[in-house]
Chains A and B, each alone.
Chain A
């Protein structure tokens, strides 16, 4: 039906989304990709599911990179006077470990979940702007590669710590190009996150299935939505800071150079105004995952859904008012310190609400301790420890003693690793069958979980003690006789157990895939879950839903399987197989793939190298970006030349009668255009709103 709506006589202007589709070759350069198979398909795809998988795979690659850096740190600190790394390389390694884990592992892993699951959980066929979605991924990847390329071409990694305080970030103390790569690499990655945030917010707000009110959205989608809002408003602040840093280093400005009248505190404020919301950007997606996993394996609805959502929103708001607790020792004055102490204590309240709600959800439930559930419970427990040590930072006098010691390192690893990483890995076990169509082995999964939990606590638990004993954060070595030896060795042993557990995860993925051929397929709903992504086949067909479901309430999918008998007892009214869609819809209209996001993304690091090494390099980079934007704007959203059975038809029967109307399958090519001229337009096409 989309086709019939296309005006025949007009040009290819595609500024307003979804209005026109005319077969012209924009700029005559790259022909429109047709979907196809193999690597070409992945390079040009705009499918939110493939983009989500690419985010996930890339994130795991950088998890390994950041993990190797972590192991190097722990090897260096295993024994006193360690000689594995020089002090200079040690600085680079711990900086790049932090930057990699935050920006190149957890954020993209959360983005993987957001991309893959938000459209499925709200009953959409794709995100609001599929091509922008591809753009986000490619820009993020180009930024990530750019950032890490400083090891090779920049004279080493950044060496100023992940928050890169001045004057350590200035040319005097960091003469290599590492910090330049840090600034520009994060700027590029920031563009990706900003575009993605806008895209996903519009998706959540505008693309919901009929009946999917905001307060029927699963908690995961809610937490991801709040995360996107945090990104939307936090990224411009770090953008300003990074631009100023770049001006300082590459164009002789003096924003952060105290010798020239600049103020290092400005960087700290700008960084942490971004940096504290960033903490919630990392943790909220994991909270969302936990909020899906625990109800499913407790066979109970989430306790206090509205409270969960509103405490998430409260965290989102209050997260903006606590940034200076990172700066208690910077001399910001007693009033500021008192105010930020109080706000920091207050933000523990909505977080505590969440923890209690998860426990209340489990209370009296029929709990199944699957791997995903173990990870979820582990997340709650470990995050609570990290949250409690966080409250000790809120008390400024205590924080003055703790700051820049290993106690801080212990705290934020409990929050970010114990909360964020455990939660997201639990999410992998939970949604793996939905995404890839086979289950991860439970026994190996539990080995993975226990190894990770034990290794994690061995690594980061002792750091509380080390920190309180006075071991400074970021020292490259220590002398014998301070009492640091034993716990450092324990932490190093623990870090290798974590490495083993990550290897166990990869092994489980590989082995389970091999075994999957001999096992029955998981079916649409292997966990007896609650939200509507489980009502479609596993793996998810390209078009997601055969027919966009009409949603009647929270936990829609569960209520399609279960009802109540006369005594008010829960009875099964349909099996998952009966209630699920079979994925058989054909000729569903999907947005056409495009190469332009990739072209645009290649241009940005070229500009980055140009800024650092030779401004002339900016010219080809800028041309690529400009060409990408214009070709993109001129490229029709729909490809009239696309294969008949692949991209050209309407998505579902609009009258919802389960049959496909005759106009659901319109052909391609000239015939179709003639038909378009003759036929009256019909309101339809779910995907019509999904154009970028």
Chain B
């Protein structure tokens, strides 16, 4: 069952896999990332549910909630930027697989910069909300909003750290086509973070309260 599905390592390749390959045919690291992302679904599921429960709760002092101050056009643009970073991520992987190290480097940098723009947008959004009187401790609605989007922002930031690590490795000549699975795995994480944002953006910003 297992031996047949695993590709035999060709002499000269640096595929140090065991003699019968991973039993599922999916490498250990990639499988681990898929499992981790499965777990992350529940994390964001819990946070999104919390927000949905609380989104109109202004508390006893009837203070402002995030929906009062949403700037949908601005957030749409930063969401678009984040979505485009998934495209550049794919281009980075494709370039590396083709052996185009320079292209891979460029696209990795572009992906992390697009992610950086998104994070910058989030920082701007948070500060402007704060100026308009929606603080973390206002009421359950604002606490839930900051908790959810904050957790997502931390995830994007960690993704940027991973992308920049890949970029530096590539710059030092250590990222070669045989490492494309590493890029693919980081890409899995990155796409997941993007997909989660599509949910968050739809559920929180677009669906009216």
Contact = CB atoms under 8 A, between A and B. Distances in A.
Contact of B28 (A262, A682, A690): A690
Interface stretch (A78-86, A237-245, A282-290, A450-458): A237-245
A547 to B, nearest CB: 11
Interface in A26-82: none
B19 to A, nearest CB: 5
A262 B17 contact: no
A261 B142 CA distance: 11
B31 A254 contact: no
Nearest to A22: B174
B39 interface: yes
A239 B47 CA distance: 10
Contact of A128 (B28, B36, B144): B28
B68 interface: no
B32 A11 contact: no
B106 interface: no
A16 B179 contact: yes
Interface string B41-62: 1110111001001100111100
B48 to A, nearest CB: 10
Interface stretch (B116-124, B125-133, B165-173, B191-199): B165-173
A201 B31 CA distance: 9
A2 B16 CA distance: 6
Given A206-B31, A210-B20, A255-B140, A5 B50 contact: no
Interface stretch (B4-12, B77-85, B86-94): B4-12
A414 B28 CA distance: 39
Nearest to A253: B143
A466 interface: no
B28 A206 contact: yes
B209 interface: no
Contacts of B110: none
A159 B144 CA distance: 26
A654 B21 CA distance: 13
Contact of A680 (B12, B38, B178): B12
Interface in A638-692: 654, 680-691
Contacts of B169: 11, 13, 15
B39 to A, nearest CB: 5
Contacts of A6: 14, 16
B140 A682 contact: no
A681 B12 contact: yes
A630 B29 CA distance: 17
A239 B143 contact: no
B69 interface: no
A233 B46 CA distance: 11
A255 B16 CA distance: 50
A255 B18 contact: no
Q: Is the interface of A mostly helix, strand, loop or mixed?
A: loop
Contacts of B172: 11, 13
B19 A691 contact: no
B16 A260 contact: no
Among the interface residues B23, B39, B42, B147, which one has the most CB atoms of the partner chain A within 10 A?
B23
Interface residues of B, number: 63
B191 to A, nearest CB: 18
Given A254-B59, A262-B140, A213 B1 contact: yes
Interface in A224-256: 232-237, 239-241, 243-244, 247, 251-255
B114 to A, nearest CB: 21
B139 interface: yes
Contacts of B38: 232-233
B19 A685 contact: yes
Contact of B16 (A19, A210, A270): A19
B100 interface: no
A280 B18 CA distance: 34
A565 interface: no
Nearest to B22: A206
A10 B40 CA distance: 34
B23 A18 contact: no
Contacts of A202: 28, 31-32, 35
A240 B9 contact: no
A82 to B, nearest CB: 40
Interface string A145-156: 000000000000
A259 interface: yes
B23 A208 contact: yes
A595 B19 CA distance: 29
Contacts of B203: none
Contacts of B39: 194, 197-198, 232-233, 235-236
B16 A201 contact: no
Contacts of B54: 255, 261-263
Contact of B147 (A7, A198, A233, A243): A243
Q: How large is the interface on A (under 10, 10 to 19, 20 to 34, 35 or more residues)?
A: 35 or more
Given A15-B182, A194-B39, A255 B17 contact: no
Nearest to B173: A11
Contacts of A212: 23
Contact of A237 (B3, B46, B178): B46
Interface in A254-282: 254-255, 259-263, 266, 270
A25 to B, nearest CB: 17
Contacts of B31: 201-202, 205-206
Given A205-B23, A683-B19, A685-B18, A261 B60 contact: yes
Contacts of B45: 236-237
Contact of A208 (B2, B29, B140, B185): B2
Given A208-B2, A261-B139, A263-B140, A129 B14 contact: no
A630 B158 CA distance: 13
Given A13-B175, A240-B43, A244-B147, A688 B139 contact: no
Contact of B59 (A234, A237, A260, A654): A260
Contacts of B144: 255
Contact of B179 (A19, A194, A232, A239): A19
A633 interface: yes
Given A2-B16, A17-B29, A241 B46 contact: yes
A105 to B, nearest CB: 24
A199 interface: yes
Contact of A244 (B16, B50, B166, B185): B50
A686 B19 contact: yes
B35 A232 contact: yes
Contacts of A198: 32, 35-36, 39
A241 B47 CA distance: 9
17 contacts: A6-B16, A16-B29, A128-B28, A128-B32, A201-B35, A205-B23, A206-B27, A232-B38, A235-B39, A236-B40, A239-B46, A253-B137, A254-B139, A255-B50, A259-B60, A685-B16, A685-B17
Given A683-B8, A689-B18, 4 more contacts: A205-B23, A261-B139, A263-B53, A688-B15
Closest 10 CB pairs of A and B: A240-B46, A236-B43, A688-B16, A683-B9, A206-B22, A253-B143, A236-B42, A13-B174, A16-B182, A686-B18
